Amino acid sequence: MLVSSNRLIGCPVFSVQASGQIASVSKVIIDPDSLKIIAFRLNRSFPDNASILDVKSIREYNPDYGIIIDNNDEIVADDEIIKIQDVLSLHFEPIGLKVETKKGSKLGHVEEYTVAPEDFIVQQLIVKRPALKALIDPELTIPRTEIVKITDDKIIVRDEEKVIKARAEKEDFIPNFVNPFRKKQPDYAPTDTDKE
């Protein structure tokens, strides 16, 4: 199951030690090199200006309830973890970035993204299309496999036709399952001799 970026902002953070909610997520910190969430900034002030929660400190994440950690000591200051400090200095935020193909065709702007809650890796970009293209297709879902390069102001993806084709193939998928609530249909059509 994928989780929308919209559900991460404001997500409550619970502490087992405190037996309740101690904060909520105010910002998602993403490493642009791996497109992985490495930490969350929390909106409650803790001692020593601690407000960063490393994803490695998360005990459990449930999209319906929130983030669970063991205790408040998991929340650190900006400068306590070098990797997080380096990523914070980049000020990377995918939402709002332009999305273009390698050939320079403009696809739109990132409106939101989805992540896998098991590892917090960005799986898809949801791109709002420009006005003219929005008449045909208002938004485009781009899987991470189609991303070629990320710069300070844009995300470059493979050819537009390949992105649209990949999405169309996923939409044509028909699940192969049996509905247990549907009445079982006979394997043959009854004949007059069957009725006698």
Q: Output DSSP code: residue 73.
A: G
Q: Does residue 24 fall inside a structural domain?
A: yes
Q: Following CA atoms 153, 158, 161, 167 in sequence, which dihedral angle do they give, to the nearest 10 degrees?
A: -90
Contacts of 174 (CB under 8 A, 6+ apart): none
pLDDT of 174 reads: 46
- Do 126 and 153 share a domain, yes or no? yes
pLDDT of 42 reads: 93
Low-confidence stretches of the chain (pLDDT beneath 70)? 45-48, 131-138, 160-196
Q: Tell which of 66, 90, 114 closes a domain.
A: 90
* CATH code: domain of residue 120: 2.30.30.240
Q: Tell which of 90, 106, 136 closes a domain.
A: 90
User: What digits encode the pLDDT tens for the residues 72-94?
Assistant: 888 988 888 888 888 988 889 99
CA gap 166, 22 in Å, rounded: 42
Model-level pTM?
A: 0.75
Q: Which domain holds residue 140?
A: 98-171
Q: SS3 breakdown of the chain: % helix, strand, coil, rounded to 5?
A: 25, 40, 35
pLDDT of 175 reads: 47
- Do 30 and 79 share a domain, yes or no? yes
Q: Is the dihedral of CA 42, 44, 50, 55 positive or negative?
A: negative
Q: Does residue 192 fall inside a structural domain?
A: no
β-sheet bridge partners, residue 27:
41
pLDDT of 38 reads: 94
Q: Does residue 81 fall inside a structural domain?
A: yes
pLDDT of 110 reads: 94
Count CA atoms closer than 13 A to 116's CA, side-chain side: 8
Q: Which of 112, 106, 134 is nearest to 124 (CA)?
A: 112
Q: Tell which of 51, 69, 90 closes a domain.
A: 90
pLDDT of 27 reads: 93
Write the burial class of residue 1 (CB in 10 Å: 0-12 exposed, 13-18 middle, 19+ buried).
exposed
